Amino acid sequence: MMPASRSINQDDLRNHNLSVVLATMSRSHAPLSRAALAKQTGLTKATLSLLSDILLRNEIICQLEPASGTTYGRPSTPLAFRSGRWAGIGMQLNTDGLGYTVLDLDGSVVMSDWHERAMDDVDPNEIFAELDQMMQSVEQRLSETGYTVTGSCLALPGLVSNGNRLLVARNFGWHDINLNQYAVVSRLNASADNEAALAAIAQIPGFAAQRTAEQWPIGSYDSFLYVSTDIGIGGAYVREGQVVRGDHGFAGEIGHMCVDMRGTLCRCGRHGCLETVAGRRAVMIAAGLADAANATRTDLLEQLVATWRAGDTRAALAVEEVKAALAAAIASTVNVIDVSNVMIGGLWSGFGDDLRADLERRVQSQILARDAVRVRLMFPPVTVHPSMYGAAVEGLRRLVRDPMRFVTEE
C-alpha cells in the first residue's frame, strides 16, 4: 500500500513561497525590486507584494532608497535583508582549538573568536564546558544588541549521525557521544555536523546569508568536490548547490581512501589512508619539522612552506608524496562521481598557485574521460575557519528554510 500523501494547507504554501523569496534574495549579487523578485521566482506580482509586506513587517527585510536612472514610470524600490536583527551562530571544535562565528543575515560577521589549544585525546566534558562558558557571553551580547538567533550549528571533525550523536572523532579519541547532553548544545538547540560538509557549505554563494558582490569562482547551483586538509582530511560532494549526504549522512570521507596498501597504520584501523600521507601531522614529521609529540603545532605550516620553497630536500620529498597521494585520491573520486570542480581547502591551500596548477595537471592526467572533461582545481574563497563560518550559515538556513517559524505578524 502506498503511503497517504499529506495535504498542503495555506500555511505550508505561504512558508514555501516565503522561503523561495528569501533564497532568491540571498543568491542575488544585488538587492532586487518586487518586480525583479516576481520575475525570478515565478510568483505573481500580487503574491510577491503580499509576501514582501509580511517580511517587512517582521523586520526580516527592509526597503532601500528607490533606484534612480529609470526614464519612464516610478523608480523601483530594492529590497534587502535587514541588518542587525537576525543572526546564525557557528561553533567549532577542531584538532587545534575551539571558537565561534556569529553571522548576520546580510552576510556580515557580527563577532568571532578562536582559542588555539592542543586537542589530542581531550576530555569532552572539559571541552564542552569551555565552549559553554565562551558562548554564554556571546548570547548575552547578541540579546543586548537586539539580535534574534535563528539557529546554531557545531562543526566537528568526525562522523555525526541524525539526532546529534557523534559516532567517532578519532583525532579527539571520542566515540559514541550524545551531544545533546551538553548545556551549550541543548540551550542553543544546536545541530552538529561534520566539519568538511560545513566548510563546503561556506563556499556556496548565497546558501543562506546575503551573497557578496565579490567575484566568486562558482555559482550558487554549481557542483563541486570539497577536500578539507588539516590533521585529518575530509571531504564533501556538493551537487547543484546542496551537500550530498549519502544514506547515513557520512558521504565524503576522502581522507580514508587508501593510497598505499602497505602504508602507515591510520587511526581508523586501516593502512595507507590519504590522511596518513597528506594530513598535517604526517607531513610535518615527514618533512623533519616535528616529531609525533608536537606535529600538530599550527606555527609549523609557515616553516613547511618556507623550507619547501627554499628547496629543502626532506620538505620537497614530503610535499611531492602529498601531491601524488592527493592527485590519486581526487582523480579516483572524480571518476566515481563525475564532477568538474574541485576545491582544496585548509592546509594545502596555503602553498600557492604553483602547487595548485601542478596538482590540477596530475588529476587531469588520471581522469578516465580526460579527453572530453576538463577538471578545474581551485582554492576556496572562504579560507578563515570555513567550517565555523559554514556552521553559522547553516544556523541562518533555518530562517530561509522555514520562515514562518519566525513570523509573528502576518
Q: Is the pLDDT of residue 134 over 80?
A: yes
pLDDT at 249 over 90: no
224-378 falls under which CATH superfamily?
Answer: ATPase, nucleotide binding domain (3.30.420.40)
pLDDT at 72: 56
CA dist 233 and 349 (Å) reads 13
The three cell numbers of residue 138 are 556571546
CB 372 within 8 A of CB 182: no
H or E segment and range at residue 272: none
Q: Which amino acid is at 191?
A: S
State residue 370's pLDDT score: 95
Q: What is the pLDDT, as a whole number, of residue 68?
A: 67
pLDDT value at position 349?
83
Does residue 30 register a pLDDT over 60?
yes
Grid cell, residue 203, equals: 563556499
Over residues 60-72, mean pLDDT? 78
Closest CA to 90 of 22, 149, 173, 159: 149
Query: At residue 73, does pLDDT exceed 60?
Result: no
Helices (H), 44-154: 45-57, 124-144
pLDDT of residue 369: 94
Residues 185-216 have pLDDT tens digits of: 999 999 999 999 999 999 999 999 999 878 89
CATH classification code of 10-66 = 1.10.10
pLDDT classification of 390: cutoffs 50, 70, 90: very high
The second-level CATH assignment, the architecture, of 86-212+386-406 is: 2-Layer Sandwich (3.30)
Query: If you average pLDDT over residues 389-393, what whole number do you get?
Result: 98
Query: For 73-77, 185-189, 384-388, 394-398, which range has the lowest pLDDT when averaged over its residues?
Result: 73-77
pLDDT tens digits, one per residue of 140-170: 999 999 999 999 999 999 999 988 999 999 8
Overall average pLDDT of the 284-307 stretch: 88
Cα–Cα distances (Å) from 323 to 75, 112, 190, 289, 357, in that order, read: 55, 33, 37, 18, 11
Answer yes or no: is pLDDT of 392 > 80: yes
Burial class (CB in 10 A: 0-12, 13-18, 19+), 270: middle
Reported as a single tens digit per residue, the pLDDT across 254-277 is 999 999 999 999 988 999 999 999
* pLDDT, greater one: 121 or 367: 367
Identity of the residue numbered 14: R
CA distances from 241 to 6, 313, 385 (A): 27, 42, 20
61 forms beta bridges with 81
376-378, strands of its sheet edge to edge: 242-244, 233-239, 224-229, 341-346, 376-378
The more confident residue out of 7 and 332 is 332
| Cross-sheet strand order for the sheet of 159-161 | 159-161, 165-169, 174-178
pLDDT at 131: 98
- Write the secondary structure of 215-233 as one string of H (helix), E (strand) and C (coil): CCCCCCCCCEEEEEECCCE
pLDDT-derived band of residue 3, with 50, 70 and 90 as boundaries?
Answer: low
With a cut of 80, say whether residue 341 has pLDDT above it.
yes
Report CA-CA distances (Å) from 75 to 38, 62, 70. 16, 17, 6
Mean residue pLDDT of the chain comes to: 93
pLDDT at residue 374 tops 70: yes
Chain centroid to Cα 50, Å, comes to: 33
Structural domain boundaries of the chain?
A: 10-66, 86-212+386-406, 224-378
How is the chain split among helix, strand and coil, in percent rounded to 5? 40, 20, 40
Q: What is the mean pLDDT of residues 234-258?
A: 93
Question: One fold for both 86-212+386-406 and 224-378?
Answer: yes
Residue 231 banded pLDDT, cuts 50, 70, 90: confident
- Please indicate, yes or no, whether the overall pTM of this predicted structure exceeds 0.75: yes
